[in-house]
């Protein structure tokens, strides 16, 4: 496989994207913060199948990290990421040093969705995500951009901003990639000690408990939340941030699993914050 072309400049990336569009090539885009794992690779493989050209961005976006979060220690294995991209047939890696002018004054916020679930625990996080994704989509100008369902709130916010700002790009949601035992893949899993790794699996177990209960006919949100809470509380190093049963479009709390429903968990295992979710569509 030929090496991907690495582009650092936003202007150069934009010019290349324009040129590709002029020659009628479709662009599939996978935005990442690097530390690529099998989850990212499944997005890249799908982008490869569905487009003429694949662009992967690698940029640890400072504006989506809070002051006490892991921005400085976030893994940055660029050479390993590049090798994975080469093996997957990626054409371009967009790896800007920064995407923000020192006096940046323009931020993108998506009303009504940013101050719920993740947004409550990570104030400003989604403003950072929405802004960087808007910038990346404006620079790369893809036909399709691929996002994992593990970050369900991020996916929803990006779908809404792409529609509201007429960015002309199709957002393609992709299933959460999981380890063989069910743990959702995440670059942050690499922070877990073996004991934390075992305890983290309770998040998946709690969600699967919920899935089974709903199949058996239990739709009451309080009962389901209680059962999931019991499973999580058995882990000594796991601290629940939230367990939520919400409308998948508005993220408003629900009393019952009815309609299009997102069941989401965020928890700290040791010092590592993990999220996962399942979705029910149109349960009567």
Q: How far is the CB of 31 from ligand PAF (least distance, A)?
A: 4
Residue 167 or 210 having the CB closest to ligand PAF:
167
- Minimal distance, residue 206 CB to ligand PAF, in Å: 23
Pick between residue 152 and residue 244 the one whose CB is nearest to ligand PAF. Answer: 152
Torsion of CA 152, 154, 155, 159, to 10 degrees: 140
Query: What is the pairing mode between strands 27-32 and 272-283?
Result: unpaired
Location of structure tokens 């990442």: 32
Q: Is the dihedral of CA 273, 264, 229, 195 positive or negative?
A: negative
**Span of 128-136, 166-174, 215-223, 275-283 interacting with ligand PAF by CB under 6 A:** 128-136
Encoded one letter per residue, x for contact with ligand PAF by CB under 6 A and - for no contact, window 140-159 reads -----------x--x-----
61 binds ligand PAF (CB under 6 A): yes
Q: Is 37 a catalytic residue?
A: no
Nearer to ligand PAF, 155 or 201 (CB): 155
- The pairs formed by 168-171 with CB atoms below 8 angstroms and a separation of 24 or more are 169/29, 169/137, 169/141, 169/142, 169/143, 169/144, 169/145, 170/143, 170/144, 170/145, 171/144, 171/145, 171/147
Site residues for ligand PAF, 17-56, by CB under 6 A, read 31-33
Residues noted as catalytic = 40
Interface positions with ligand PAF (CB under 6 A): 31-33, 61, 64, 129, 132-133, 151, 154
């Amino acid at each position: 496989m030929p090496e991907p072309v690495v582009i650092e400049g936003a202007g150069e990336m934009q010019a290349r994207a324009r040129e590709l569009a002029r020659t009628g090539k479709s662009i599939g885009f996978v935005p990442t913060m690097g530390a690529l794992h099998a989850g990212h690779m499944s997005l890249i493989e799908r982008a490869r199948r569905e487009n003429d050209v694949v662009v992967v961005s690698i940029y640890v976006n400072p504006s989506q990290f809070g002051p006490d979060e892991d921005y400085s220690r976030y893994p940055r294995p660029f050479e390993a990421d590049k090798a994975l991209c080469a093996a997957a047939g990626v054409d371009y890696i967009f790896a800007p040093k920064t995407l923000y002018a020192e006096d940046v004054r323009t931020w993108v916020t998506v009303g009504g969705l940013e101050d719920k679930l993740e947004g409550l625990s990570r104030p400003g996080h989604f403003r950072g995500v929405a802004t960087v994704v808007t910038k990346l989509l404006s620079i790369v100008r893809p036909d399709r951009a691929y996002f994992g369902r593990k970050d369900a709130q991020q996916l929803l916010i990006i779908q809404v901003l792409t529609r509201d700002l007429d960015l002309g790009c199709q957002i393609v949601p992709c299933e959460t990639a999981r380890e063989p035992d069910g743990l959702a893949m995440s670059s942050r899993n690499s922070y877990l000690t073996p004991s934390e790794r075992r305890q983290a699996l309770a998040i998946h177990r709690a969600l699967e408990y919920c899935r089974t209960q709903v199949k058996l006919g239990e739709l009451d949100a309080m009962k389901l939340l209680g059962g999931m809470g019991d499973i999580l509380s058995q882990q000594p190093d796991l601290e629940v941030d939230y367990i939520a049963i919400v409308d998948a479009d508005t993220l408003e709390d629900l009393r019952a699993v009815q309609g299009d429903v997102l069941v989401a968990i965020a928890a700290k295992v040791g010092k590592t914050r993990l999220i996962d979710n399942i979705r029910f569509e149109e349960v009567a």
